[in-house]
Amino acid sequence: MTDDYRRELQEHVRASMDPHRLRVADRMAEINGRYIGLTRDGHLAAALEGLVASMSTPDPDEQDKRRIVALVGESDAGKTTALKRHTADISALQPFVSGATTFKPFLKMLAPSPSSLDLVGAEMMRGVGYPVRRDAKLKGAWQQACDMLPRHRVGCIWIDEAQDAVETASIPEAKVIGNAFKNLVQMPDWPVRLILSGVQPLKTFLERPQLKSRVTIVPFDQIDPVLNGDTIDTAMEMIIEDHAGLSRSRELTKGAKTYDDFRLRLAHGCDKEFGSVVKTIRGVVELALLERTDLVTRDHFVRAYDMHAGKPPHENVFTAPNWAELVVRQADVEGSVPTWARVGAKKTRRKYGERP
Can you give the chain as a three-state secondary structure string?
CHHHHHHHHHHHHHHHCCHHHHHHHHHHHHHHCCCCCCHHHHHHHHHHHHHHHCCCCCCCCCCCCCCEEEEECCCCCCHHHHHHHHHHCCHHHCCEEECCEEECCEEEEECCCCCCHHHHHHHHHHHCCCCCCCCCCCCCHHHHHHHHCCCCCCCEEEEECHHHHCCCCCHHHHHHHHHHHHHHHCCCCCCCEEEEEECHHHHHHCCCHHHHCCEEEEECCCCCCCCCHHHHHHHHHHHHHHHCCCEECHHHCCCCCCHHHHHHHHHHHCCCCHHHHHHHHHHHHHHHHHCCCCEECHHHHHHHHHHHCCCCHHHCCCCCCCHHHCCCCCCCCCCCCCHHHCCCCCCCCCCCCCCC
Evaluate the omega torsion of the peptide bond into residue 114 and state whether it is cis, within 30 degrees of 0. yes
Amino acid residing at 164: D
Question: Other C-beta atoms within 10 Å of 320: how many?
Answer: 16
Q: Quick one: pLDDT at residue 168?
A: 74
Q: Quick one: pLDDT at residue 176?
A: 86
For residue 220, give the nearest of 192, 196, 194, 193 by alpha carbon: 196
Residues of the chain with pLDDT under 70: 1, 58-65, 134-137, 330-356
Q: Quick one: pLDDT at residue 353?
A: 42
Q: Quick one: pLDDT at residue 349?
A: 44
Q: What's the pTM?
A: 0.83
Q: Quick one: pLDDT at residue 339?
A: 57
φ and ψ at residue 106, rounded to 5 degrees: -115, 115
Q: Quick one: pLDDT at residue 311?
A: 83
Q: Quick one: pLDDT at residue 173?
A: 79
Amino acid residing at 35: Y
Q: Quick one: pLDDT at residue 136?
A: 60
Question: Other C-beta atoms within 10 Å of 149: how many?
Answer: 21
Biggest CA pair distance of the chain: 67
Q: Quick one: pLDDT at residue 356?
A: 37
CB 68 within 8 A of CB 202: no
